[in-house]
Amino acid sequence: MAEIAHLALRLPDQVWPRQFSRAKACANTAMKISDLLSPSEVLVDVPASNKQLLLEELASKAANSLGLGIDRVAPYLLKREALGSTSIGGGAAIPHALLPDVQRPFGLMARLKQPIQFDAIDDQAVDLVFLLLLPAKTDNTQLSALALVSRTMRLNGVIDRLRRAHTLPGSIR
């Protein structure tokens, strides 16, 4: 397994209430990054020339993983990003969208080959992206998942550790 995938799946556990489990519905348990992300959903050295092309590429990969057509993912993601940048500063972004065809939160993490402009509030180019696709149904799952990813990415040292992680032979791409 690539070092970055190993690191991403073992980010410090944050405890947030959740309404789902990857394996089964389960209330009153803590949501973890590994509930949202699997090793095959960690991408390293992703080439991207601009934000729109990156979001379209990530939407395509996510749609494939979810067994959906890209037309069931990309428009929602691009529409949400048009409302305002999902950059959280420090060179990281959490693009996210509510999708009617998604039954549980789904994550995809990408470390870009080169940073790109992302209309960030701090004007810093982005090189770490955690895509989050959420069920459109209204419950606390969406907010819990988004809060988990946001707070985890903002923890001291997490972004730097993800940037410094080396890939191993056979790394996830």
- Catalytic residue IDs: 96
Task: Tell me the CB-side half-sphere exposure of residue 132, using CA atoms within 13 A.
Answer: 25
Task: Tell me the CB-side half-sphere exposure of residue 48, using CA atoms within 13 A.
Answer: 27
Other Cβ atoms less than 10 A from the Cβ of 138: the count is 8
Structure tokens at 88: 């959280």
Q: Where are the alpha helices (DSSP H) in 12-73?
A: 33-36, 51-66
